[in-house]
Structure 1
Amino acid sequence: MALTVTWPDYSAAPVVEVVVGVEFAPLPNFGVLSFGALHELWKARYPEVAEREALPPTRPLRPTGGFEFQFGQGIPPTRLWMASQGGERLIQIQHDRLLLNWRKVEAGSESAVYPGHEALIAEFRQLFEEFATSAAVGGVALTPLVTEWSYVNRLTSDHLLDGQALSVWTAPDLPIETEPLFTNLQHVRRFHHEGRDGQVEVSAAPQQIGEMSAGLLTISVKCFHRPDTTMTSALDSAEVAWQVARATFAATTTESARQQWGEAR
C-alpha cells in the first residue's frame, strides 16, 4: 500500500548528509584496474580521490540474533572515494556496491541547500548506468542485493539530551535533580511496503565537533532484494526507501521541533 502522506517542506531542515546506493553480488576480479577505469570516467565531475577500507556486507538483523564469521585470505578489498570539487557530492565504489552521498559542507554556499530526493536519485541512476556499462564492470551482469536511502540530521545537543526533538525518547523522571549528559537511542524495525521487504534503523547520539556539541539523528532504510529482482526494480526501490525514511523522520521527531525547522505542508 502506498504511503498517502502530504510531505512537508522544511525551510531550515536539519539534514546534513544523504546517502543513496545499491549493493550487488561481489564482482570477480574487481580491483586496481577497475578503480583506474572509473577514475578516468568520472574525474572531470569528481576529481578528489581517496582510498578507504571496504564496507562489510549488509545483512538484515535477525530476531534470534547470533553471530556471523567471515574468513578470507589475501589483501582485503578497498573502497574508492571520488568527491566533487568542494566535497558536497561523494561517490563510494567497491567490489559490491555503488553509493552517492550529498553532504552539507559549507554554510551559505550552494552545497548547504539539499537538492531534494528526486535530483539525487536521478543523479544516482545516471552514475549507475555509467558504472554498469563501464570497462570496470566488464560486461558482468549485476545482481542487486540491497537498495539504501539514509538521512543524517544534526540536532542541537539540548534537543537531543532533553528529548525535545525526539518523540520516541522519554527522559526518566528521577526523584532527585539530575542533568542530562548523554542520550543514545536506537530502533531497528522490519517492514513490507510496495512489495519490498526491508528494515529501517533509527539512531540518535550526541556528537562533539571541536568546541561545538551537537546530536546526530540517523535514519537508514534498506530494501532487501529477492534473487529474481531486476536491476530496474532495485533502482526503483530508492524511491520506496526514501518514502519510508521520510515517514520515519516525521514519526521520530516532535511537532515542536519540526515547527522550528520551518515545516510547511
Structure 2
Amino acid sequence: MGDTLRFNLPPVREVTLSILIQPLAKLQTLDLAPLRVEWQNEYPILEEVAPLSPWGPDGSDSVQFVRSGRSWPMPLCSFSTSGGGRKIMFQHDRFALSWSFEDAGNKYPGFEALMTEICDKFSRFETLVKESSGISVKPMRVDVEYVNHLAGIPAHGAMAGILSGWKEESRFPFRNPDYCGFRVHYCESEENPLISVLVGVDSIVGDTDESEIPSSSSLTLSAEADISESANHNELLASAHDVLVTAFRDVTSEKMRREWGEGQ
C-alpha cells in the first residue's frame, strides 16, 4: 500500500482518493467542458448522475426540491476507462479518483501513481474553475479509502482475529452468522492526531451459494483529515495513506501478509 508496504499479490480491490472542496454553488458542467476533450482518449466513457449529498456539516440526506426558475444543481460527472477500472469523479463540492480490480491482468498501480494522477487532474480542474468563474477552488478535506479482499476468511473470523491480535486460539464465540459487519472508528489516529481512521469488516455476500455462509470478507480502511490554512492537500493525502499503512499492519497477521507476498 505504499513505500513501506508492498505485496506480490496485494489484496486490494478498490482505492478511492478524494479531495473535498468548499462548495461552488454556481459551478455547471459546461464550465468544465474542455475536460471531456482533453481526457477522452484516456477516459472515454462519460456519465452524469444525480449529485451526492453534500459532505459538510450542513449536508443533509433529506429530499430537496428545485424551485421553478432556479438553476439545476450540477450532476456528479464521471469519466471512466473503457473497462471501468479507473474513474475520475467530480461535482460542485468534491473531486475524486478511484481504481478497482477488474481481472488478473489489472495490476494495482500503487498509491504513488494514483496520487500523482489525482494531483495532476485536480490541478487542471482548479484552473478551469478559476477561468470560468473567477473563483479559486478551496480544498477543505481529504479522504483515502482502501477496500481489501480477505479470501477464505469469513467476516466473523476476521473480526475475532482483529480483536484478539490474530492469536491462534481466537475464535468467534457464537454460531456462524449469515452476515457479519464490524466497525471501529478513531477520531484521532495514533500515528497522526489530525487524521481520523475507520476500520470496517463485512461479509462478501454472493461469493458462495445463497444457502451457504459467506466464506470471504472485505476489509475497508479509510482515513480523512481536514485541511488547515497552512496545510497542503497533496501532503495530507500522503499522510492519510501512511496512517492506513499502519492500520493495515495492525489489523492483519504476519501469516496473511506472507501469503500476499510482502516485500517480494
Q: Tell me by how many angstroms 1:148 deviates.
A: 1.3
Q: Tell me by how many angstroms 1:171 deviates.
A: 4.5
- Give the aligned CA root-mean-square deviation in angstroms: 3.0
- 1:167-224 CA distances to partner (integer Å, 9 max, x unpaired)? 23665435xxx33432211011022688772311111101224657432111111111
Q: Tell me by how many angstroms 1:157 deviates.
A: 5.0
Report what 2:167 is aligned to: none
Q: Tell me by how many angstroms 1:32 deviates.
A: 3.2
* Farther-moved stretch of structure 1 (162-171 vs 214-223): 162-171
Greater strand share, structure number: 1
Kindly indicate whether the alpha-carbon contact (under 8 Å) linking 2:156 and 2:176 is maintained by their aligned counterparts in 1: no
Alignment equivalent of 1:142, drawn from 137, 140, 155: 137
Alignment equivalent of 1:191, drawn from 188, 191, 199: 188
- Which AA in structure 2 matches 1:150? E
- Which AA in structure 2 matches 1:128? F
- Which AA in structure 1 matches 2:221? I
Secondary structure of 2:33's aligned partner: helix
- Which AA in structure 1 matches 2:81? S
Kindly indicate whether the alpha-carbon contact (under 8 Å) linking 1:162 and 1:180 is maintained by their aligned counterparts in 2: no
Report what 1:238 is aligned to: 237
Report what 1:52 is aligned to: 49
Kindly indicate whether the alpha-carbon contact (under 8 Å) linking 1:159 and 1:165 is maintained by their aligned counterparts in 2: no
Task: State, as a whole percentage, how many aligned pairs show the same letter.
Answer: 24
Alignment equivalent of 1:215, drawn from 191, 214, 217: 217
Q: TM-score scaled by structure 2?
A: 0.80
Q: TM-score scaled by structure 1?
A: 0.80
Matched, 1:96 2:96: no
Alignment equivalent of 1:11, drawn from 4, 8, 11: 8
User: Aligned ranges for residues 1-265 of structure 1 at < 5 Å?
Assistant: 7-58=4-55, 72-74=64-66, 75=72, 77-107=74-104, 109=105, 111=106, 113-134=107-128, 138=132, 139-156=134-151, 158-163=153-158, 166-168=161-163, 171-174=171-174, 178-191=175-188, 197-209=194-206, 211=208, 213=214, 214-226=216-228, 228-229=229-230, 233-264=232-263
* Farther-moved stretch of structure 1 (68-77 vs 113-122): 68-77
* Farther-moved stretch of structure 1 (118-127 vs 38-47): 38-47
- Which AA in structure 2 matches 1:121? M
Kindly indicate whether the alpha-carbon contact (under 8 Å) linking 1:22 and 1:235 is maintained by their aligned counterparts in 2: no
Using the alignment, how far apart are the partners of 2:208 and 2:191 within structure 1? 44
- Which AA in structure 2 matches 1:142? V
List runs of 5+ in structure 1 lacking aligned partners. Answer: 61-66
Secondary structure of 2:48's aligned partner: strand
Using the alignment, how far apart are the partners of 1:85 and 1:122 within structure 2? 21
Kindly indicate whether the alpha-carbon contact (under 8 Å) linking 1:196 and 1:225 is maintained by their aligned counterparts in 2: no
- Which AA in structure 2 matches 1:146? R
- Which AA in structure 1 matches 2:24? L
- Which AA in structure 2 matches 1:173? P
Secondary structure of 1:256's aligned partner: helix
List runs of 5+ in structure 2 lacking aligned partners. Answer: 67-71, 165-169
Secondary structure of 2:136's aligned partner: coil
Secondary structure of 1:105's aligned partner: coil
